[in-house]
Amino acid sequence: MRSKIRLHIQRMVANLFEGSFSSYLNSTRGIELDELRQYQPGDEFRSIDWKATTRTGNLHVRLKLVDKRTNIFFLIDRSGSKKFGSAHFTKEEIQSSIVSILVKSATETGNLVSFITFTDKIENYIPPQAGQREGIKLARNMIIDKTESIQTNINCAFRFLNSLQFAPSLVFVLSDFFAPFDYESSLKSLIKKHDVIPIVLSDIREEVLPKARGFVAVKDLETQKVKYLDLSQDLFTKPQHKNLFNKLNLDYLTLKTDQNEEQWTGALSDFFDKRIRRRSRIKR
């Protein structure tokens, strides 16, 4: 499963350089064999796979992923709401697991990883670094380091990354997106240059409460205010961030605290697979 995630990231990195989601070089160049297909006029002679040609009776060529490296940014929301989890895990634990998986996959082929942690301000920024061991260590430290604030401002994170002068990069945003909805403009600017993938961290109790008669006191982990919720009433939530993602045709993934790491990994792999296949069809 994790090897599939590594392969998917390699494809997305290749897409940034090729400007296409059919990100292959039909030649002997590349970092990993992806698939075989029948020979087409213009294919390089040295890319012919003679074993497949002999077996099928038709000329076949080897398609390899583009040998490119890029920056991969991780925008990590460290606000107080990440401490919440009504099921098996907290949202912070989802972050830690997913960032670890993605960093390991990204650095296996030499890509650079960079980290930006934020609350209602930029808490920490680590410029692009190479090396798998160093990348995993940095990711772990960025998630457990203490923050100066517990509130959220996603707009400041998007604006900060927009201010950095980097070539087109792959950007993962890990947040529950419980924040002031003032980041549409900065997100639009970000996706004009970079390939942005929001990973939404979610808990079932933020959407549905157990049906009962009575009230329950809840404390906002960011404002520290106590509110009373009527258990006989449905929660009314407006997923403004998801509406915005759909409006901008932005692919996003939702991971839940009542899942486990195997399910998160499977969902991540399936998400990448569907994303690449869908965009490949669009490009054709």
For the stretch 119-144, pLDDT in tens is 999 999 999 988 888 888 888 888 88
Domain presence at residue 93: yes
Task: Assign 28 a pLDDT band (cuts: 50, 70, 90).
Answer: very low
Inform me whether the pLDDT recorded for 65 exceeds 70. Answer: no
Helix crossing, 261-283 with 2-18: angle to 10°?
A: 30
Residues 201 and 260 in one domain: yes
Question: In the prediction, which pLDDT does 228 show?
Answer: 59
157 domain residue, yes or no: yes
Residues 95 and 202 in one domain: yes
Parent domain of 29: 24-65
Task: Show Cβ contacts of residue 22 under 8 Å, excluding neighbours closer than 6 positions.
Answer: 280, 283, 284
Q: Judge if 58 and 171 occupy the same domain.
A: no
Region 209-231: mean pLDDT is 63
- Across the range 26-39, mean pLDDT stands at 59
Instruction: Work out the pLDDT band at 43, boundaries 50, 70, 90.
Output: confident
For the stretch 69-112, pLDDT in tens is 788 999 999 998 888 877 789 999 999 999 999 998 888 877 89
The stretch 155-167 carries a mean pLDDT of: 95
Q: Are residues 162 and 206 located together in one domain of the fold?
A: yes
Do residues 202 and 187 share a domain? yes
Q: Is residue 139 part of a domain?
A: yes
Residues 31 and 123 occupy one common structural domain: no
For the stretch 222-252, what's the b/e string if a residue is b when 16 or more beta carbons lie within 10 angstroms of its beta carbon? beeeeeeeeeeeeeeeeeebeebbeeeebbb
Q: Is 16 part of a structural domain of the chain?
A: no
**Is the CA virtual torsion 44, 46, 47, 51 positive or negative?**
positive
Query: Are residues 38 and 168 both part of a single domain?
Result: no
Name the domain count of the chain: 2
- Using the 3D structure, point to which of 11, 32, 65 is the last residue of a domain: 65
The shares of helix, strand and coil residues in the chain, as percent rounded to the nearest 5, are 40, 25, 35
Q: Is the pLDDT of residue 274 over 70?
A: yes
Query: The domain that contains 200 carries what CATH number?
Result: 3.40.50.410
Q: Please report which confidence band the pLDDT of residue 40 belongs to, taking 50, 70 and 90 as the band edges.
A: confident
Cα dihedral sign for 165, 170, 176, 182?
positive
4 inside domain? no
Exposure string (b/e) for 181-197, b if CB count within 10 Å is 16 or more?
eebeebbeebeeebbbb
The 10 Å Cβ neighbour count of residue 134 is: 13
Higher-confidence position of 237 and 137: 137
The angle at the Cα of 233, spanning 230 to 237, to the nearest 5 degrees, equals: 100
In a domain, 1, yes or no: no
Q: Are residues 60 and 177 in the same domain?
A: no
**Do 42 and 144 share a domain, yes or no?**
no
In a domain, 212, yes or no: yes
Considering the chain, what is the average pLDDT of its residues?
Answer: 82
Q: Are 194 and 213 found together in one domain?
A: yes
Per-range mean pLDDT, top range of 12-26, 27-41, 141-155: 141-155
CA dist list (Å): 162 to 20, 73, 113, 175, 186: 23, 12, 17, 18, 8
Q: Are 91 and 231 members of one domain?
A: yes
| Residue 37 sits in the same domain as residue 97 | no
